Amino acid sequence: MISILLGGNVALFVALLLVLIISLSFHEYGHAYAAKHYGDRTAEMLGRLTINPLKHIDPVGLLMVVMVGFGYAKPVPTNPRNFNSKWATLGVAAAGPFMNLLIAFVVLNVFALGVKLGWTFMLSESMILFVQIVAAVNLALMLFNLIPIGPLDGHYILPYFLPTRLANLYNEYNSRYGFYALLGLLLLSATGVPIFRYVFSFASSLGDYITFI
């Protein structure tokens, strides 16, 4: 993202940053809502059951967004001892990426409906760009968080789909090396390897598959 700002496109930089901040806030709200649904009110009691960005955005994580294109928000605190289902960890972890998918789905289909109904303002360049940004950012956040390494949501989800022995082995290795693997990806991105650009490009291509109008 810093390259966009240095290239002089301040408006695009600001739009991307605002969409990222709001999308990250909805992502974390999804986790908090799911945790409450499964019996854990820790996040709610700590004021995280909200879409207010001030409750979710981490300054360092936001700086990373600016510098390397991806960062993080404050993790939603949970207490697994309060969960009332064996599927709770899966549900809570998946709720964040699902929220990003839902945002992209709603924005793309409302836009498609507006075009179909002849809402002329939907055809303006600024509106088309806005829809593209919101959809691409949220689909990219979904994909990135589903990567099963380090502290990303995917590392909670993957074990549910593995045999017990393999899941235990995966958890052991991820607890030892997952953070370093994620750090390696971030460092590669910071040194110019366009890892997250590929994620963003792939995410942008998914829009057609979730547009049904």
Q: Is 44 a catalytic residue?
A: no
Q: Which of 15, 211, 7 is nearest to 125 (CA)?
A: 15
**Mean of the pLDDT values across residues 121-150?**
92
Q: Where are the domains of the chain?
A: 2-210
| Dist CA 71 CA 80 (whole Å) | 25
Neighbouring CB atoms inside 10 A of 5's CB total 15
Q: For residue 196, what pLDDT is reported?
A: 77
Are the C-beta atoms of residues 76 and 68 closer than 8 Å to each other? no
Give the pLDDT of residue 5.
66
Q: Could you tell me the two tokens for 53?
A: 């960005």
Tens of pLDDT, residue by residue over 57-116, are 998 888 877 776 667 889 999 999 999 999 999 999 999 999 999 999 999 999 999 999
**What is the tens place of the pLDDT at every residue in 26-58?**
999 999 999 999 999 999 999 999 999 999 999
- Residue from 28, 44, 125, 172 carrying the catalytic annotation: 28
Task: Please determine, for residue 189, whether its predicted confidence score (pLDDT) is greater than 90.
Answer: no
Give the model's confidence band at 185: pLDDT under 50 very low, under 70 low, under 90 confident, else very high: confident
Closest C-alpha among 206, 191, 199, 209 to residue 147: 199
CA distance 111 to 113: 5
